[in-house]
């Protein structure tokens, strides 16, 4: 029992050291608000990872949103490319396949008058290949409608499709 707890603590410590969590937004090398991408070729980013499936649902109070972006992150946690969609048109359940150089992703939402909202950076590991990264994105007003909030939950699943909202 003690050995299992010690192993779990060691694994968590290693993950924390490797991921280096940050509460700040990504460092973006260009103004992505006015461009459609940052970098999209393996010649520019010389790494390779297996492709991963990222699913998301966008729900809640969506009227203020102008766009939502799924940013693909390189091994250094830098946003290098993004997929963008308008949450007020089309489907609210979306899925994406990662570029082969991506080591993870994050979600950014922009609402005029409320600013940008960011999910945490999510990185995948070799043991997570073949899993689906399910993201439940909930937008709502709080503090008597003085603040626009973004609730983000995620999980990795295998052998089935993502179901939303999470139970």
DSSP result, the chain: -HHHHHHHHHHHHHHHHHH---SSPPP-SS-TTSSS-S---TTTS-------EEEEEEEE--TTEEEEEEEEE-TTS-EEEEEEE-TTSS-SEEEEE--TT--EEEEEEEETTTEEEEPPPEE--GGGTT-EEEEEEEEEEETTTTEEEEEEEEEEE-SS---SS--
- Assigned domain for 110 exists: yes
Asked if pLDDT for residue 30 goes beyond 80, the answer is: no
- Domain annotation covers residue 30: no
Asked if 144 contacts 150 with a C-beta cutoff of 8 angstroms, the reply is no
Task: Answer whether residue 37 is part of any domain.
Answer: no
Q: Which residue has the tokens 């693909």?
A: 72
Q: What is the mean pLDDT of residues 83-91?
A: 86
Residue at 78 is within a domain: yes
Q: How confident is the model at residue 5 (pLDDT cuts 50, 70, 90)?
A: low
Which CATH number is 161's domain given? Answer: 2.60.40
Phi, psi of 131 (to 5 degrees): -85, 160
- Boundaries of domain holding 107: 47-167
pTM (2 d.p.) = 0.69
Cβ atoms of 101 and 47 within 8 Å: the answer is yes
Give pLDDT tens digits for 50-75: 888 999 999 999 989 999 999 999 98
- Is 39 a residue whose pLDDT tops 60? no
* Per-residue model confidence as pLDDT tens digits over 96-148: 999 988 999 999 999 988 999 999 999 986 667 788 999 999 999 988 888 89
Cβ-contact 140, 61 below 8 angstroms: yes
pLDDT score, position 2: 53
Q: Is there a domain that residue 33 lies in?
A: no
What total of structural domains would you count in the chain?
Answer: 1
**Per-residue pLDDT for 35 more than 80?**
no
């Amino acid at each position: 029992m003690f050995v299992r707890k010690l192993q779990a603590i060691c694994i968590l410590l290693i993950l924390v050291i490797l991921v280096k969590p940050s509460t700040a937004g990504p460092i973006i090398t260009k103004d992505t608000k006015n461009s459609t991408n940052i970098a999209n070729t393996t010649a520019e980013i010389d790494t390779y990872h297996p492709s991963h499936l990222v699913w998301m649902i966008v729900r809640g109070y969506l009227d203020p949103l102008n766009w939502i972006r799924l940013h693909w992150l390189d091994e250094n946690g830098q946003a290098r490319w993004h997929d963008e969609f308008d949450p007020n048109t089309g489907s609210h359940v979306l899925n994406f396949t990662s570029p082969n150089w991506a080591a993870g992703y994050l979600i950014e939402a922009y609402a005029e008058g409320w600013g940008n909202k960011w999910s945490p950076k999510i990185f995948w590991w070799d043991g997570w290949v073949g899993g689906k990264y399910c993201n439940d994105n909930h937008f709502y007003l709080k503090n008597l409608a003085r603040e626009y909030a973004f609730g983000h939950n995620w999980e990795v699943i295998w052998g089935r499709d993502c179901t939303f909202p999470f139970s």
